[in-house]
């Protein structure tokens, strides 16, 4: 004679499924956090490298023109000859184009610089996009 025991269904309970989902969300958030931190560090390093690459063209401009580009000229002076009489001294272009920083913003430039009063300051406003904050990346912090 067969016993009439109710058949037990085999499968996952709702609690088990929810626990697995919670564990997956925690693992995914850790992975995203690590990826974001690595990406930000890479962008900061890219900005430092690009700022370092401006040194030679600006120094060559200074040798030819006897001064760094003025604030009015800005970095565009490395690509475009001046329109005044000093154009005969200009031996550029010193750069083909002026790159944007890794956050797709223009680099900031002043001459004479606040941090480098005998030359220039060149910087990116960094990840937050706000000038004058702790995350700014400038040539004064690169061991010029």
**pLDDT given for residue 1 in this prediction:** 58
In a domain, 10, yes or no: no
Q: Are 57 and 94 in contact (CB under 8 A)?
A: yes
Q: The domain spanning residue 126 has which CATH number?
A: 3.30.700.10
Give domain status of residue 18, yes or no.
no
Q: Is 45 part of a structural domain of the chain?
A: yes
pLDDT of 104 reads 93
Q: What is the pLDDT along the chain (144 residues), one digit of tens a residue?
A: 566 666 666 777 888 888 888 888 888 888 777 777 788 889 999 999 999 999 999 999 999 988 899 888 889 999 988 887 677 888 879 999 999 999 999 999 999 989 888 889 999 998 888 888 888 899 987 654
Q: How far apart are CA 142 and CA 67, in angstroms?
A: 22
19 belongs to a structural domain: no
The predicted structure's pLDDT at residue 54: 92
pLDDT of residue 144: 45
The reply to whether 113 falls in a domain is yes
Domain assignment of residue 89, yes or no: yes
In angstroms, rounded to a whole number, what is the distance separating the alpha carbons of residues 22 and 53?
47
Could you give the CA distance from residue 108 to residue 129 in angstroms, rounded to a whole number?
A: 12
**Domain assignment of residue 55, given as a range:** 24-141
> Is 83 part of a structural domain of the chain?
yes
Please give the tally of structural domains in the chain.
1
Domain for residue 40, yes or no? yes
According to the model, what pLDDT value does residue 2 have? 61
Model confidence, pTM: 0.69
């Amino acid at each position: 004679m067969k016993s009439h025991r109710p058949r037990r269904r085999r499968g996952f309970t709702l609690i088990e499924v929810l626990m697995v989902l919670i564990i997956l969300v925690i693992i995914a958030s850790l992975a995203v956090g690590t990826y974001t931190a690595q990406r930000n560090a890479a962008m900061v390093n890219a900005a430092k490298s690009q700022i370092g690459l401006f040194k030679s063209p600006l120094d060559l401009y200074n040798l030819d023109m006897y001064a760094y580009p003025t604030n009015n000229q800005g970095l565009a002076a490395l690509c475009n000859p001046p329109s005044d009489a000093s154009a005969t001294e200009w031996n550029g272009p010193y750069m083909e184009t002026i790159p944007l920083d890794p956050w797709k913003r223009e680099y900031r430039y002043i001459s004479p610089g606040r941090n480098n009063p005998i030359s220039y300051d060149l910087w990116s406003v960094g990840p937050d996009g706000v000038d004058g904050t702790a995350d700014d990346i400038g040539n004064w912090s690169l061991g010029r």
